[in-house]
Amino acid sequence: MSATIIDGKAFALKVRGKVADHVARLKADHGITPGLAVVLVGSDPASEVYVRSKGKATNEAGMKSVEHRLEADTSEADLLRLIDDLNNDVTIHGILVQLPLPDHLNEDLVINSINPAKDVDGFHISNVGLLGTGQKSMVPCTPLGCLMMLREQHGSLSGLDAVVIGRSNIVGKPMAQLLLGDSCTVTIAHSRTKDLAETVRRADIVVAAVGRPEMVPGDWIKPGATVIDVGINRLDAPERGEGNTRLVGDVNFASASEVAGAITPVPGGVGPMTIACLLANTVTACSRANDLDEPEGLTA
């Protein structure tokens, strides 16, 4: 059996198109432009790349993008003051503080100082609680993107057995909550899980969010299952020339794609959906802030 490859790049373009349409309607009908502020403290090279591509994607969707770049030694008080200003700025509907923060800054304190209605990363403790209790919230972008791809693949997820490998606050736990919300029977597996292979073999849906290159082999996958590979692992690739690297997921794509019914590749699967969902969350936050209808198909 050869799996359907879920094209995250193409799907993300569709989501971004829907966002742009909704933005155009907000502008034309209500004179409102959604605004996203991204705050970067320090100059971590990977974070710089993320922030640049977030800004570009925000502009391409017709939204306002604001970047605040602060020195690595910025004090917590100064950062909290900036967040307070953004909380009170009516032209800003989404605030994202790029993580990780330098060690002297308390990440929880900083994230929880964002107005939950503007917390487009969905990491504020209020949004975590709202999601956990099945209420309207801002949902973390990566799991939201995974959910959208699963719904597209299956239609209803009701009654399906899902295994989420990884229990992080940004991927594993919210993913499990979303799958539960869609009436899956959910198992969260992690580094202490006793028989991971057997646990995964029972699953109609496998979401791998671990950060270990190709740790899930094809013979763990139930024939026909849908596999969502969140992992991004960079490996040396001397075969591509001296100093070159390549990206692989947490799933062994070659063997898993022989067994699965559908699978996301790495790169080109979950990654592009994450940024598309950030844009979706921003336009959702803007619609809610103005008591307008939310965009269809862009929320959980």
Which residues belong to the active site?
Answer: 54, 98, 121
**Site stretch for ligand NAD (CB under 6 A), options 82-90, 119-127, 162-170, 284-292:** 162-170
Residue 232 binding ligand NAD, by CB under 6 A: yes
Residue 231 binding ligand NAD, by CB under 6 A: yes
Chosen residue from 79, 196, 203, 206 binding ligand NAD by CB under 6 A: 196
Cβ contacts of 42 within 8 Å, gap of 6 or more = 70, 71, 72, 101, 102
Chosen residue from 170, 175, 179, 206 binding ligand NAD by CB under 6 A: 170
Residue 271 binding ligand NAD, by CB under 6 A: yes
Closer to ligand NAD at the Cβ: 184 or 210? 210
Closer to ligand NAD at the Cβ: 122 or 271? 271
CB 3, min distance to ligand NAD, A: 19
Closer to ligand NAD at the Cβ: 32 or 221? 221
Residue 188 binding ligand NAD, by CB under 6 A: no
CB 188, min distance to ligand NAD, A: 9
Rounded Cα–Cα distance for residues 57 and 141 (Å): 14
Residue 144 binding ligand NAD, by CB under 6 A: no
Chosen residue from 74, 98, 177, 274 binding ligand NAD by CB under 6 A: 274
Residue 281 binding ligand NAD, by CB under 6 A: no
Residue 166 binding ligand NAD, by CB under 6 A: yes
* Cβ count within 10 A of residue 27: 14
Residue 173 binding ligand NAD, by CB under 6 A: no
* Cβ count within 10 A of residue 13: 13
Residue 292 binding ligand NAD, by CB under 6 A: no
Rounded Cα–Cα distance for residues 113 and 83 (Å): 7
Residue 165 binding ligand NAD, by CB under 6 A: yes
CB 223, min distance to ligand NAD, A: 22
Tell me which residues touch ligand NAD (CB under 6 A). 142, 165-168, 170-172, 189-191, 193, 196, 209-212, 230-233, 270-271, 274
